[in-house]
Amino acid sequence: MSGFNLAIDGPAGSGKSTISARIAKKLNWTHIDTGAMYRAVTLKAIELGVNLEDESSYRFLESVVVHYDFDKIFVDDRDVTEAIRSEDVTNNVSLVSSFPYVRKKLVELQKNAALHGNIVMDGRDIGTVVLPNADLKVFLTANVEERAKRRYKENIKKGKDQHISKVIEDIVVRDQKDSTRKESPLRIADDAIIIDTTYLTIDEVVDKIIELTDKKENKHGV
């Protein structure tokens, strides 16, 4: 085995991406935000004007390259890091990510990205499907009000003022879609360590996960 694979899963607003990015920075590892990849496919499909409900619409993935690098996401060579956070993308990404063809294509890319190890990958199915043999699997949770509050603050920073009740509603709907879909639903891997982040700061969660990583590394000599 070459290097450590750290899988971080959890529902919308649980802090996965922020926490994974910080861990990667601290350890000098690579971070892959798989949610950003599903968002990028959604953005491309919307821009192409294809029928989002039809699985065959996503055949463009045979030639379009989705690539995540240094916390930036690219579709072919275009940086879409900002564009993938639009409301239109958020409202459609659960539908797009429910198609087996789309998942197959992206999971392939994600597995390849992890081959070199020393990677932090975050998403919904990392511990269960993408990296079932990960050295450490963490599942982050937080109550829905706290998750909505975090997303609300993020939105405000970006100049998007959406009422908190709408943010809660969006999160509940997305959680429901993500955990009930047929293909790779959001599920806690049997061997994942669950961390409830409701009353923890980002740094507290980061430190906790790094501590767990150290313990595993020392045990296995990874």
Amino acid at 57: S
Q: Which of 4, 123, 139, 192 binds ligand CDP (CB under 6 A)?
A: 123
Q: Which parts of 6-25 interact with ligand CDP (CB under 6 A)?
A: 12-13, 17
Q: Which parts of 86-115 interact with ligand CDP (CB under 6 A)?
A: 93-94, 97
- Return the number of the residue (81 or 118) whose C-beta is nearest ligand CDP: 81
125 binds ligand CDP (CB under 6 A): yes
Angle made by CA atoms 115, 119, 123, in degrees to the nearest 5: 100
CB 122 within 8 A of CB 8: yes
Closest CA to 43 of 80, 1, 95: 80
Nearest residue to the partner ligand CDP, using Cβ: 35
Minimum CB–partner distance for residue 219 and ligand CDP (Å): 27
Report CA-CA distances (Å) from 132 to 6, 58, 110, 125, 189.
Answer: 11, 26, 12, 9, 8
Residue 86 dihedral angles phi and psi, to the nearest 5°: -65, 160
178 binds ligand CDP (CB under 6 A): yes
Q: Is 39 helix (H, G, I), strand (E, B) or coil?
A: helix
213 binds ligand CDP (CB under 6 A): no
Burial of 43 (0-12, 13-18, 19+ CB in 10 A): buried
- Return the number of the residue (157 or 219) whose C-beta is nearest ligand CDP: 157
Tell me the window of 54-62, 69-77, 117-125, 161-169 that interacts with ligand CDP (CB under 6 A). 117-125
Kind of pairing, strands 78-79 and 72-75?
Answer: antiparallel
Q: Which parts of 28-87 interact with ligand CDP (CB under 6 A)?
A: 34-36, 38-39
Which residues form the interface with ligand CDP (CB under 6 A)?
12-13, 17, 34-36, 38-39, 93-94, 97, 123-125, 174, 178
